[in-house]
Amino acid sequence: MGGATVAKLIAQRIALGVLLLLAVSVLIFAGTQILPGDVAQSILGQAATPQALENLRRELGLNDPAYIRYFRWLFGILQGDLGTALSNKRDIATALSGRLANTLFLAACAAVVSVPLAILLGLLAVRYRNGIIDKAISGFALASTSLPEFFIGYLLILVFAVKLQWFPASSTVYDSMSFLQRLQAVVLPATALTLVVLAHMMRMTRAAVLNVMQSAYIETAELKGLSPLKIIRRHAFPNAIAPIINVVMLNLAFLVVGVVVVEVIFVYPGMGQYLVDHVSKRDVPVVQAVGLIFAAVYITLNMVADIAALLANPRLRHPK
């Protein structure tokens, strides 16, 4: 019975994720259609003749009703065709493959540092709650969340690239670079992303563990004479793992879709930089494709978080 219930709940979450992605695709398409300006005019320039503009609109299918253009775009995506960039006539899927890999590499570097560090700091804050260590960690978290990511990025460039000259100000990566060279190139943007998500994960870890610490079995463990560290490690943390997994997955999703500002600041050749470059050119197919990929990553990681929390929590596996 429990297994069937779990399978049903997982199937419901997957179905909800698919429906949500479909709804987001409609919003992305509609949002790009109401942008000011004329796509044909932006491609051909102000000197284009009315006949040339009309011919290009017909070629691009811009004269078709919006719902026909949406379904044409959607069916193309389902077949693996993201379309062709209007600005350079390049296949979008081909152009995005390398940039997506760069964005995932940057997000992975930030995650490898931020996730274990956030959990460790959160557990330390619980162990020394209301003490100087807890207050110092909470103060750092408050300061980190108060600073916007563009300010953190420029501050890192000023200190470590301009003043100390330890790292390059622009994070340029290319295919022939070794793994260590790539790591060195992404140190500053990965640090900026780490500082952005670290505080939230740390505070949620602290809150989740402290909530479990109020339970009766924790008091029993204390009466048995177990040390605070053992109580946290053996009893509190394992029972707080579900909300911690959830917040970690949410922040991992942000690491992938929230890189736009950081990539622009550090001129990093990832998805965010590619999106900004083509927004300025009013390249609608590229904006649609990148927006949908970001949405798919975010929805998928949220769905994984829900499923992981479900599997980690016995009470959710047996709903009343």
SS3 content of the chain, % helix, strand, coil (to 5): 75, 0, 20
pLDDT for 35 equals 66
pLDDT for 23 equals 92
pLDDT for 1 equals 43
Question: How does pLDDT run across 10-45, given as a tens digit for each residue?
Answer: 888 888 889 999 999 899 888 877 766 666 666 666
Length of the chain equals: 320
Range 170-195 burial, b when 16+ CB lie within 10 A, else e: ebebeeeeeeeebebbbbbbbbbbbb
Q: What does the alpha-carbon distance between residue 306 and residue 11 come to, in Å, rounded to a whole number?
A: 11
Chain-centroid distance of CA 192 in Å reads 14
Q: Where are the domains of the chain?
A: 2-36+82-317
Where would I find the beta strands (DSSP E) of 133-232? none
Q: What does the alpha-carbon distance between residue 309 and residue 317 come to, in Å, rounded to a whole number?
A: 10
- For 2-36+82-317, CATH gives 1.10.3720.10
Q: Is the pTM of this model over 0.85?
A: no
> Which residue positions in the chain have pLDDT lower than 50?
1
The residue type of 121 is L
Do residues 92 and 85 make contact, with C-beta atoms less than 8 angstroms apart?
A: yes
